[in-house]
Amino acid sequence: MTEFLLKKWKEEGKMNGKQFVGSTIVSTELVNDVAANYNVETKIGLTGFKWIAKMVKDFPNLILLVVEKKVSDTWLVAL
């Protein structure tokens, strides 16, 4: 999902260098590598919806937030 969205946004000229990928401490580290391939920073936060909401509030330039839990995978995309 991360690769797909970053590739699509790059092709559409939506990347301006201010975006980042938000992830959590339990998410796969592969997300970091994918983001780095697009020169996009990855920010790591704690797990839980209150921490995810804080990340969205603290970083208003957020384009993609990846949340991956042990039981199920959840993808939240914020534009």
Could you tell me the residue ranges of all domains in the chain? Answer: 18-39+49-79
Q: What's at 2, amino acid-wise?
A: T
Three-state SS at 75: strand
Each residue's pLDDT tens digit, 19-47: 888 888 887 788 889 999 999 988 888 88
Residue among 53, 46, 37 nearest 69 (CA): 46
pLDDT computed for residue 71 by the predictor: 46
Q: How confident is the model at residue 11 (pLDDT cuts 50, 70, 90)?
A: very high
At 64, list the tokens. Answer: 């993609």
